[in-house]
Chain A
Amino acid sequence: MSEELTGGAHSGRSGGPSRRGFLRGAGLAGAGLIAGTGAARAASPDPLITEVQPWAQFLGDGVDAAPYGKPSRHEAHVIRRNVEWLTADTSSSVNFTPIHELDGIITPNGVCFERHHAGVADIAPQDYRLLINGLVDRELVFTLQDLLRLPRENHVYFLECAANSGMEWRGAQLNGAQFTHGMIHNCMYTGVSLRTLLNEAGVKAQGSWLLAEGADASAMSRSIPMEKALDDCMIAFRMNGEALRPEQGYPVRLIVPGWEGNMWVKWLRRLEVGDAPWHHREETSKYTDLLADGRARRFTWEMHAKSVITNPSPQAPILHGHGPTVITGLAWSGVGKVARVDVSIDGGRNWAQARISGPSFDKSLHRFYFEFDWDGRELLLQSRAIDDAGYVQPTKDALREFRGVSSVYHNNGIQTWHVHSNGEAENVEVS
């Protein structure tokens, strides 16, 4: 870990502790210089350059060392984490994407956050069946092979749990972007549009709702209005090019672009067409938004515009001292594209437009950057997303005005990080 912190210096297989200690010292001293004077002049030659390093001398692993490759061992800290006190058992729980360790817009498959209601179902592809029943002309059973013979599409979409940032309704609670905003991931999905699939069965005229049901031990089920189902929903069997990960619904999951993640039923086994919603557990007891007056909104499916600065953030302080500094983060909207992201360094008094870099897809994460010269002053960092429908991400207080603090779900308020003059960042709320 210390190697990772000092910029990658490590002694490899042949290095001893004393050498390692020396390198670490050199790293810190170098950083100190940069902090003091900007562009620095080294006091002494850098042994990482003047001495032949083990990786430059000895042979490394051959091509078959890792038939399925993994991240560098120096990235072993880039992992999903859970919040143990949140749930009774990990089989009905959630973990969080390490968004402060990632860049660009695509989430690597192995760190996409997980949410299960009865653990991960383990289904062999040859055992997979999808049943379409209800108000259709033909009730049908598909194997995975059948589904792979239908025309395929590729789309990049974010999946955000409705409860992302849900622990922050009553105020700042968790110190890390991973925990406040990590119930999100963004992947390119390959699959078949529900339009195409449902057309095989033939939806009857009175078929206005769709029930999607999982094959796991909670038989997770959600009602989806037919208009959405036929608009942009799809079933997917690949994410970022490879088969879905087991924890993401292998072999087939539902994709409901822009809508809360709970509806993206994993291990999809059944689609039933009906003429009314089912009001199952996940759309009554859960995923309804309790307001201050004791009443609750239902069918709050759409995820509205939101953003968060991922770096710096509490798990990722500024470690380079004063001078050129890159602020970066993510922005998204379940309505469409993100048109603009603004950043404030003074807690929302003044704003500047950030720079969006990378592809801008509908209902997908957008990556933004804001570069500035940090002089070491304390910062109150905020970002706000503005989507192409003109919706401006609200402050948390503005949301509370409408919703109170008990609604659990759909907290898309503006996040504030307090960056101290030593570079540490804290989750705070501001006036």
Chain B
Amino acid sequence: MSRFLKSTLICAGAAFAALPVMAQTYGLGRAALPEEVAAWDIDIRPDGAGLPDGSGDVWTGEDLYEAQCAHCHGTFGEGMGSWPALAGGHGSLTHEHPEKTIGSYWPYLSTVWDYVNRAMPYGMAQSLTPNEVYAITAYLMYLNDLVDDDFELSRENFSDIRLPNEDGFYLDDRIELEWPLFTQDPCMSDCKPEVQVTMRAAVLDVTPDDPIADARRAQARAMAAASGGGDAPASTPDAEPEAKPDEDASAAHSPELIAQGESLYRACRTCHQVGDGARNAVGPMLNGIIGRMAGRVDGFRYSPVLTEAGDTGLIWTEETVSEFIADPRGYLPRNRMSYAGMRDADDRRALVAYLSTYSE
């Protein structure tokens, strides 16, 4: 709303003298302690306000990025599947399919630092130290060709840095630019010549399956055929008969237990994938884990101790998986899985029940 925004920005602070002042407060809430404000007040601004002391260099950032970021964002920040690209795309903003990366699109480096610090790595938020966030930010600058590999980012040099597209943004001007045209009296009759269809969604065929809608369309056709008329759109697929979604839950476990396990699996999925199309990420994919020899998923680089465990006959059963996730490093010392352990036996039973529903 630019009308509103404009008055905000033009009047800057002055506008607020006119705000209604409510004399009364209810005296509710309590004074926040400095430690509490410090714990939650994590936001960073483009002027560097909010940055903690610290620094990190490109090489340190590369190691951290490879370990914690690359499995979603790609080795070179090119993105993976639908996970966002972080580098590249220079000069692409006017192309048919623009690539909006830190280097090509983002206006401020502070946004990178702030978001990595508050929300990354995905599924393990706020686990990085300030120095690690500086290092990862430095590496992302390097991936975007903004600095050389000997660069070190710190609180001191942070606000000297400008991203290339800082000037590519301007305030909402829809009201000034578009509203003169969009507030004219609308035409009610003979507004344009004969109307032609110029594009059909069905041509792309990207709409998710909806068995009810399919059945309704089939009914429309059947009724039209029965009454001897009616056209049908040529490009929509024939309706499928209704089908219940596959329920491949293991017969040995209750749906409630499996659902509980699915919820608990959130703790695992930062590193492990399971289900259709699962692939190795930070950890190996888990399809078919129950009944598999330890350390045997193709293409995954295990800790030596895990491969050895398989060599000496460790089979993942519901029991051994449960014992392992109770305390991974106690069960198999020197393995690389960085998970503290699931202490509650009922939780482990639910998680194993969930995993057992995914066969190879």
State the A residues within 8 Å of B (CB): 1-2, 4-5, 28, 31-32, 35-36, 77, 81-89, 91-92, 117-119, 131-134, 138-142, 146-147, 149-150, 171-176, 179, 195-196, 199-203, 205-208, 211, 213, 217-219, 221, 225-228, 230, 258-259, 269-270, 272, 274-276, 278-281, 284-285, 288, 290, 292-302, 304, 314-319, 321, 334-335, 342, 346-352, 376, 378, 380, 384, 386, 389-394, 398, 402, 406, 410, 418, 420-424, 426-431
Contact = CB atoms under 8 A, between A and B. Distances in A.
B125 A205 contact: no
A340 to B, nearest CB: 9
A269 B43 CA distance: 13
Contacts of B12: 208
B251 interface: no
B317 interface: no
Contacts of A315: 210, 212-213, 216
Nearest to B2: A302
A430 B194 CA distance: 10
Contact of B186 (A258, A279, A280, A384): A384
What does DSSP make chain B's interface, helix, strand, loop or mixed?
loop
Given A31-B223, A280-B114, A319-B216, A430 B197 contact: yes
A179 B206 CA distance: 11
A300 B172 contact: yes
Contacts of A195: 20, 22
B195 A421 contact: no
B82 A218 contact: no
A195 B25 CA distance: 11
A142 B171 contact: no
A132 B115 CA distance: 21
B206 to A, nearest CB: 6
3 interchain residue pairs of minimum CB distance: A422-B230, A347-B195, A422-B224
12 contacts: A35-B227, A81-B210, A219-B126, A227-B4, A228-B4, A278-B45, A315-B210, A349-B190, A391-B182, A392-B185, A420-B230, A429-B197
A228 B8 CA distance: 9
Contacts of B41: 133-134, 270, 272
Contact of B208 (A4, A89, A179, A205): A179
Given A199-B25, A298-B171, A318-B220, A350 B31 contact: no
Contacts of A418: 197, 200, 233
Contacts of A141: 29-32, 36
B181 interface: yes
A422 to B, nearest CB: 3
B195 A431 contact: yes
Nearest to B195: A347
A77 B81 CA distance: 30
Contacts of B170: 295-298
Contacts of B47: 276
Given A279-B110, A294-B93, A317 B217 contact: yes
A88 B81 contact: yes
B255 interface: no
Given A275-B13, A422-B231, A428 B19 contact: no
A9 to B, nearest CB: 14
B119 interface: yes
B230 A208 contact: no
A390 B41 CA distance: 42
Contacts of A279: 45-46, 107-108, 110-111
Nearest to B104: A294
A346 B195 contact: yes
B339 interface: no
B93 A424 contact: no
B202 interface: yes
B177 interface: yes
Contacts, number: 367
A2 B214 CA distance: 12
A317 B31 CA distance: 59
A319 B29 contact: no
Contacts of A218: 118-119, 125
B242 interface: yes
Interface residues on B, range: 35 or more
A314 B98 CA distance: 30
Given A279-B108, A349-B190, A392-B184, A150 B26 contact: yes
A67 B72 CA distance: 43
Interface in B179-200: 179, 181-200
Interface string B240-283: 00100000000000000000000000100100000000000000
Contact of B201 (A316, A402, A406, A426): A426
Given A195-B22, A269-B40, A423 B220 contact: yes
A175 B107 contact: no
The residue in A217, A351, A391, A422 that gathers the most chain B C-beta atoms within 10 A of its C-beta is A422
B231 to A, nearest CB: 5
Contact of B106 (A284, A314, A386): A284
Contacts of A225: 4-5, 8
Contacts of B313: none
A2 B211 CA distance: 11
B298 interface: no
B354 to A, nearest CB: 15
B123 interface: yes
B98 A290 contact: yes
A140 B216 contact: no
A174 B208 CA distance: 8
Contact of A118 (B123, B185, B188, B211): B123
A426 B200 contact: yes
B302 to A, nearest CB: 25
Contact of B199 (A318, A398, A428): A428
B67 interface: no
B122 interface: yes
Contact of A32 (B16, B188, B227): B227
Nearest to A274: B45
A298 B22 CA distance: 32
B31 A392 contact: no
Contacts of B7: 227
A84 to B, nearest CB: 7
Contacts of A288: 169
B200 A172 contact: yes
B169 A298 contact: yes
B111 A284 contact: yes
Contacts of A280: 43, 111, 114-115
A421 B230 contact: yes
